[in-house]
Amino acid sequence: MPTVHFTDAEGEVRDVQGNPGDSVMETAVRNGVPGIVAECGGSLSCATCHVFVREDCLSKLPPMEDMEDEMLYGTAVDREDNSRLSCQLRLTDELDLFVTTPETQV
């Protein structure tokens, strides 16, 4: 099963298993991972599911589309080169993904 390792701003780690095809955001929210808010439920409207992806995992992810790129300029904690919106990241069979959640999403 795909696994996402969420590290929060304090360094606490939660490993969450998900289903292939689900987004990283859904996987986090359904299991109550606190660092992800996701007000809009994944419709790319709110930028409150911001994550920083560990550098060596970036290449496993699909490229960013324009809308995600623009929304990332409005995140509560400023974007970095490894920023993504987790609603746009789909789990695949063997994905083992490491992300850090920002200190705040709103």
Partner 1 sequence: MGTHTAEQPAPVADLSVPTRTGLLIIGASQSGVQLAVSLRALGFDEHITLLGDEDHRPYQRPALSKEFLQGTVESESLIFRSNEYWAEHNVDLVKGEYIVRIDRDADGSGIAHASSGRHFPFKRLALTVGARARKLEIDGGDLDGVLYLRNADDALALKARVGDAQDVVVIGGGFIGLEAASSLQKMGKNVTVLEFGPRLVGRAVGEETAEYFLQAHRARGLDIRLNTSAARLTATDGGRSVAGVELQDGTLLPAQIVLVGIGVIPNTQLAEQLGLTVDNGIVVDRYALASDGTTVAIGDCANMPNPVPGAEPGERIRLESVNNAIEHAKVAAYSLTGRREEYAGIPWFWSNQADLKLQIAGLCNGYDRTVLRSDEERGKFSVLYYRRGQVIAADCVNAPLDFMAVKNALAKGRNIPADAAADPATPLKTITTDS
Nearer to partner 1, 27 or 100 (CB): 27
Residue 29: enclosing H or E segment and its boundaries? helix 24-30
Residues 12-51 that bind partner 1 (CB under 8 A): 22, 26, 29-32, 34, 39-47
CB of 82 to partner 1, least distance (A): 20
Residue 3 touches partner 1, criterion: CB under 8 A: no
DSSP 8-state code for residue 54: P
Kindly report the backbone phi and psi dihedral angles of residue 71, in degrees, each rounded to the nearest multiple of 5, phi listed first.
Answer: -60, -30
Residue pair 5/101 in contact by the 8 Å Cβ criterion:
no
Between 55 and 92, whose beta carbon lies closer to partner 1?
92
| Residue list 47-76, contact with partner 1 (CB under 8 A) | 47, 67, 70-71, 73-74
Q: Which residues of 20-43 are buried (b: 16+ CB within 10 A; e: fewer)?
A: eebbbbbbbbeeebebbbbeeebe
Identify which of residues 12 and 70 has a Cβ nearer to partner 1 in the complex.
70
**Binding-site ranges for partner 1 (CB under 8 A):** 22, 26, 29-32, 34, 39-47, 67, 70-71, 73-74, 106
